[in-house]
Amino acid sequence: MKVALYVRVSTYEQSPDMQLKELRDYCQRMKYDIYREYTDIGESGAKTSRPQFNLFMEDMRKRLFDAVLVWKLDRMGRSLLHLLQIMEELKTKNIDFISYSQNLNTMDSTGKLLFNIIGSFAEFERDIIRERVLAGKRKSVIKQGRKPLQINRHEVHRLREEGKTLEQIGDEVGCSYGTVYNLLRMK
């Protein structure tokens, strides 16, 4: 059986080496042929578009391998909807999914059920992390005594149309040029 390995780490400080070693060892024990290794570094699982993931999906659609092997389900994605979409595409191409560390595969009905349950928990975990980050930001603003900026976006756009620089606009409305830049991007 030809197997594609998909590995992802969220930051550039992390290394995919441990995941790759365990997946390669597993393939050797199972006598699977590794078709290709797809490795995304510094990519969030919440993103549906990642360079190596996109390449993996293209090759999957061409049915260049028989199964995909990941170290853990959340390496493939963090959104249940996205995971289910991936699974549906794999199913239409008759390609199996194997999660090594969770001892999960879609070759049987139990594996399919467990996939849906674990996918729900991966999405839940991502939501909890997001809530904690937002709570931390709010706490930081309160602790530092800063008040949230109240900036008139229309004024920022008007000043930009007058030809003022980001720094000039920031000085005039009372914020940094980075904030001005972000406000101008949000039409």
Q: Residue 142's pLDDT is what?
A: 67
Whether the CB-CB separation of 44 and 77 falls below 8 Å is answered with no
Q: Residue 145's pLDDT is what?
A: 63
d(C-alpha 43, C-alpha 78), whole Å: 12
End-to-end C-alpha distance for the chain, whole angstroms:
50
Question: What residues are labeled active site?
Answer: 10
More confident residue, 157 or 77: 157
Q: Residue 3's pLDDT is what?
A: 97
What is the value of pTM for the model shown? 0.60
The per-residue pLDDT for range 30-41, each reduced to its tens digit, is 999 999 999 999
* Domain 2-125, CATH: 3.40.50.1390
Whether the CB-CB separation of 165 and 172 falls below 8 Å is answered with no
Domain ranges in the chain are: 2-125, 153-185
The per-residue pLDDT for range 90-110, each reduced to its tens digit, is 888 989 999 998 888 887 787
Give percent of the chain above pLDDT 70.
Answer: 92
Candidate ranges 80-84, 92-96, 149-153; pick with highest mean pLDDT: 92-96
Pairing state between β 33-41 and 96-99: unpaired
- Mean of pLDDT values over 73-88: 80
**Of 39, 40, 35, whose CA–CA distance to 67 is shortest?**
35
Amino acid at site 157:
H
Mean pLDDT, the chain, rounded, equals 86
